[in-house]
């Protein structure tokens, strides 16, 4: 009997997290592509990646990581920095657009969670509020994970925009090894020690900004 209860709980969680995950990764990638397009690079638009169809952005392993660990990744939108009007500076905006989209989705999820509490429709309100809760958690974790300055995460492109020229050249030589460092970062357990406080800071800042609306 306990197994049946645990299985039912896992299935319920899966049903509620999948829509939240698809929404999070879709808006994250579209935000990258849309920002690049506005700054002069149409690569994502021409590749059909400025779409809200989540299947166009889904990376199976990254989505599985979001389900299991609450952080993960999508299939990156193609961006050609040489098409941008100011490549180094504009890539900061392009990179920051993804985590920003997740931060805004987390804010909307928090508002929906709080405001839906007044609805007297238990069979609708309870699963909806649980979906909002998962959307809040997943979007904050996705934003935090992508802000880490390890290539190929968004944080690495953001960092490059602020580095002095000498440090930038050294960092660019490190970039080809970024994925190996990222795997070690995830497997070593250090990721939890970094992500936990970062998510906490984002959550605190978000609740502080939205306090008048909550």
Cα–Cα distances in angstroms (integers) from residue 39 to residues 43, 64, 138, 175, in the given order: 11, 32, 28, 24
Query: Which residues are tagged catalytic?
Result: 29
Question: Would you give the DSSP letter of residue 212?
Answer: G
The H or E element that residue 146 is part of is helix 122-147
Q: CB-based contacts of 28: which residues, under 8 Å, 6+ apart?
A: 57, 74, 98, 99, 101, 102, 142, 146
Q: Chain-centre distance of CA 95, in angstroms?
A: 11
């Amino acid at each position: 009997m306990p197994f049946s209860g645990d299985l039912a709980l896992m299935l319920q969680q899966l049903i509620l997290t999948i829509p939240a995950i698809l929404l999070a990764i879709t808006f994250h990638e579209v935000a990258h592509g849309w920002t690049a397009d506005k700054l002069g690079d149409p690569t994502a638009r021409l590749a059909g990646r400025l779409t809200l169809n989540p299947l166009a952005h889904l990376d199976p392993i990254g989505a599985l990581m979001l389900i299991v660990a609450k952080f993960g990744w999508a299939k990156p939108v193609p961006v050609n920095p040489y098409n941008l009007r100011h490549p180094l500076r504009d890539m900061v905006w392009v990179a920051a657009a993804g985590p920003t989209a997740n931060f805004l989705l987390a804010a909307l999820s928090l508002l929906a969670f709080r405001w839906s509490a007044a609805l007297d429709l238990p069979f609708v309100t309870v699963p909806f509020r649980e979906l909002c809760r998962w959307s809040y958690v997943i979007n904050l974790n996705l934003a935090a994970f992508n802000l880490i300055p390890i290539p190929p995460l968004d944080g690495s492109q953001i960092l490059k925009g602020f580095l002095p020229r000498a440090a930038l050249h050294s960092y660019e030589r490190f970039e080809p090894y970024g994925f190996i460092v990222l795997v070690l970062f995830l497997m070593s357990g250090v990721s939890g020690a970094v992500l936990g406080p970062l998510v906490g800071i984002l959550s605190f800042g978000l609740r502080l900004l939205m306090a008048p609306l909550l």
